[in-house]
């Protein structure tokens, strides 16, 4: 992979790997007893290997008002206010609280911190599952190597265009161009998938306030 100098290293993508995104779970809020009108609280939770997440929450009649600090990859920290409607739905186990996605209005149990720095549902994030990405990654990688071999590139650098390698002497120009074009298409797709993996890594820096940063912005 390239470094900070290469073009799309810091490109932020709305398609993020689901396991890595900061996620707010209405069931945790319920359990912590903060979904009662008039309650104001700082809610903290831990998510996998990531740092502890923390948001200020005020429960009002129509829903919850969240205040949190968030940051786009490489960007400045911002204080964000977001109101999320809470609805009570009757289920076989009694009443259950659900959140209404601010973007599509669907009722969901989980909302994720999007690159717009607000919490939205999974559909609005268009989050792929981690395993799907990995399979796609491997498949594309194999396809690209195969195409490269056809144009005589044995151990190419995936950050580099196949055009930067010389054309094999025996090969017709048109054949060479056809394979190279295909190889480039696959490489671009592979880079996109790898970007998503990178986003997973970077999302560690998009934690929601750590409780010590309040009031600084
Ligand atoms: Zn939505």
Series of mean pLDDT values for 10-residue runs along the chain (217 residues)? 36 45 86 92 78 86 92 83 91 81 87 87 68 73 90 82 87 90 86 71 48 38
Quote the ligand 1 centre to 14 CA distance (angstroms). Answer: 13
Q: Which of 93, 89, 103, 109 is nearest to 24 (CA)?
A: 109
pLDDT value, residue 93: 66
pLDDT value, residue 101: 92
pLDDT value, residue 3: 38
Quote the ligand 1 centre to 157 CA distance (angstroms). Answer: 39
pLDDT value, residue 158: 74
pLDDT value, residue 206: 44
pLDDT value, residue 187: 86
Residues with a beta carbon under 5 angstroms from ion ligand 1:
101, 103-104, 120-121, 124
Quote the ligand 1 centre to 176 CA distance (angstroms). Answer: 46
Tell me if residue 27 falls in helix, strand or coil: helix
How many Cα atoms sit within 13 Å of 198 on the Cβ side?
A: 17
DSSP 155: S
Quote the ligand 1 centre to 103 CA distance (angstroms). Answer: 5
pLDDT value, residue 41: 92
For 196, phi and psi rounded to 5 degrees?
-65, -40
Q: What is the pTM of this model?
A: 0.52
Quote the ligand 1 centre to 125 CA distance (angstroms). Answer: 7
How many Cα atoms sit within 13 Å of 32 on the Cβ side?
A: 16
The H-or-E segment that residue 87 falls in is strand 77-91
Quote the ligand 1 centre to 104 CA distance (angstroms). Answer: 4
Distance, CA of 181 to CA of 210 (rounded, Å): 47
pLDDT value, residue 68: 92
**How many other β-carbons are positioned within 10 Å of the β-carbon of residue 114?**
21
pLDDT value, residue 13: 39
pLDDT value, residue 57: 93
Quote the ligand 1 centre to 136 CA distance (angstroms). Answer: 25
Quote the ligand 1 centre to 42 CA distance (angstroms). Answer: 24
**How many other β-carbons are positioned within 10 Å of the β-carbon of residue 137?**
16
């Amino acid at each position: 992979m390239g470094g900070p100098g290469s073009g799309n290293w810091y490109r932020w993508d709305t398609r993020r790997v689901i396991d890595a995104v900061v996620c707010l779970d209405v069931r945790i809020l319920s359990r912590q007893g903060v979904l009662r009108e008039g309650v104001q609280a700082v809610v903290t939770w831990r998510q996998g290997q990531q740092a502890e997440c923390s948001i200020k929450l005020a429960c009002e009649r129509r829903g919850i008002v969240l205040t949190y600090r968030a940051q786009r990859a490489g960007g400045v920290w911002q204080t964000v206010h977001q109101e999320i409607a809470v609805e009570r739905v009757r289920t076989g186990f009694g009443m259950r609280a659900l959140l209404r996605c601010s973007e599509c209005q669907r009722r969901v149990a989980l909302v994720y911190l999007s690159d717009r720095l607000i919490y939205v549902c999974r559909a609005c994030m268009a989050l792929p599952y981690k395993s799907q990405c990995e399979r796609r990654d491997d498949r594309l990688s194999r396809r690209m190597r195969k195409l490269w071999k056809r144009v005589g590139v044995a151990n190419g650098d995936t950050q580099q265009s196949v055009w930067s390698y010389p054309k094999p002497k025996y090969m017709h120009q048109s054949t060479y161009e056809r394979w190279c074009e295909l190889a480039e298409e696959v490489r671009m797709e592979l880079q996109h998938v790898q970007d998503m993996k990178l986003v997973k890594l970077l999302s560690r820096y998009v934690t929601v306030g750590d409780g010590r940063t309040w009031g600084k912005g």
